[in-house]
Homo-oligomer: A and B are copies of this chain.
Amino acid sequence: MSFNTFGHLFRVTTFGESHGVAIGCVVDGCPPRMPLTEADIQPYLDKRRPGQSRFTTQRREPDQVKILSGVFIDEASGEQVTTGTPIALVIDNVDQRSKDYSDIKDKYRPGHADYTYDAKYGIRDHRGGGRQSARETATRVAAGAIARKVVPGMRVRGALIQMGKHRIESERWNWDEVERNPFFCPDAEKAKFFEGYLDDIRKRGSSVGAVIEVVAEGVPVGLGAPIYGKLDGDLAAALMGINAVKGVEIGAGFASAALSGEENADEIRMGNDGRPIFLSNHAGGILGGISTGQPIVCRFAVKPTSSILTPRRTVDRYGAETEISTKGRHDPCVGIRAVPIGEAMVACVIADHYLRQRGQMGETPAWPFARV
């Protein structure tokens, strides 16, 4: 994982700025002969796309993905499939309105990466946040759509479980509900509450943070690697690498600090399929950096959007003290659109580990290995 490339065998390299010509990515290492067309990718982009409700930025981007390479028609099936060579994906930038951002050219917005980009590079494309813009995450969502196809039987789903101080009730969790409200919230009652709550925040030009949970089911046991290639380590990097994320946890996460060893240990019994099952999942599906076969459960915290109407004190690039308030199009809760992004990152990490596991171990499962 370095600079703008991510993964080892399933590798994603992204490029592009918010208001440049286009954004895109190259997905390398994908197994060949997997059916793949733009139609497999577009639904995930549509889910992340801005402007779909009044709760997300009103920038209107069709986010139409084009595949430039790495696919071909399989003569036998007539289907378009991957060829095992790099898959380049491009999404044109359409609704750029660069003038919206002209007043932030010289001023560093608190909470944004304006100052750090300038301090690092000495130059930055300020329009819409340039490379630091969440717009880049569209390319990750596209890559994630491909990653989902790499691991047979895997299903990766995410949900918003907290907005501001308001946490959902876990007993009301209903995956079907996630598709029915504009917050990707699995708790119908809380979703209803969020409508008024977020409307109020939006109208005040304020913003609020959120917590997202991503669950990956159908992940084979044995993925991950000890020490520095741990599955949870790679998930943590992938999720912390999403814009505005400030915390990541696996399974019981920070709550595990308050538990006793007796409470935390997930006891094991034999399942009907001849594989161990765990009576609880405090581990979040990962022990010692390696998947257990249980669902992998990750959560991450998204800070409130830093673009707010209330003026904040700051400095400009010439070192003068000043104030700024942001009037552009923004999400009052950027955490909402982080749901499909989090799913995509989790899918990419698991796909990479799936290939790495197959590389070192082959396809014959190691366990059960000593049954008499």
Contact = CB atoms under 8 A, between A and B. Distances in A.
A300 B337 CA distance: 26
How many identical chains are in the complex?
4
A124 B72 contact: yes
A282 B85 CA distance: 26
Contacts of A1: 1, 228-229, 233-234, 237
A241 interface: yes
A201 B76 CA distance: 39
B362 A21 contact: no
A312 B265 contact: yes
Contacts of A335: 257
Contacts of A241: 227-228, 230, 232-233, 289
A293 B232 CA distance: 28
Interface string A11-44: 1111111001111101011111100000000000
Interface stretch (A47-55, A182-190, A363-371): A363-371
A81 B230 contact: no
A360 interface: yes
Interface string A327-366: 0000000010000000000000000000111111111011
B359 A221 contact: no
A276 interface: yes
Given A16-B88, A250-B240, A304-B264, A72 B123 contact: yes
Given A1-B1, A233-B238, A358 B369 contact: no
Contacts of A69: 15-17, 20-23, 131
A337 B115 CA distance: 37
A310 interface: yes
A174 interface: no
B360 A306 contact: no
A14 B86 CA distance: 8
A249 to B, nearest CB: 3
A261 B226 contact: no
A266 interface: yes
A33 B364 CA distance: 13
Contact of A113 (B228, B253, B290): B290
Nearest to A21: B68
Given A14-B227, A314-B267, A304 B256 contact: yes
A112 interface: yes
Contacts of A258: 162, 164-165, 209
Given A206-B261, A303-B259, A123 B83 contact: yes
Contacts of A26: 4, 13, 15, 26
Interface in A235-263: 235-241, 243, 246-263
Contacts of A28: 3-5, 13, 15
Interface string A292-312: 110000000111111110101
10 contacts: A1-B237, A2-B229, A31-B360, A84-B360, A111-B265, A132-B288, A164-B260, A228-B241, A232-B241, A265-B306
Question: Which 8 A-B pairs have CB atoms at the shortest separation, nearest pair first?
Answer: A113-B288, A359-B359, A122-B366, A247-B249, A207-B261, A237-B237, A116-B290, A236-B240
Given A15-B86, A243-B288, A318-B368, 9 more contacts: A1-B228, A85-B226, A131-B227, A165-B258, A206-B262, A237-B240, A260-B304, A317-B369, A358-B358
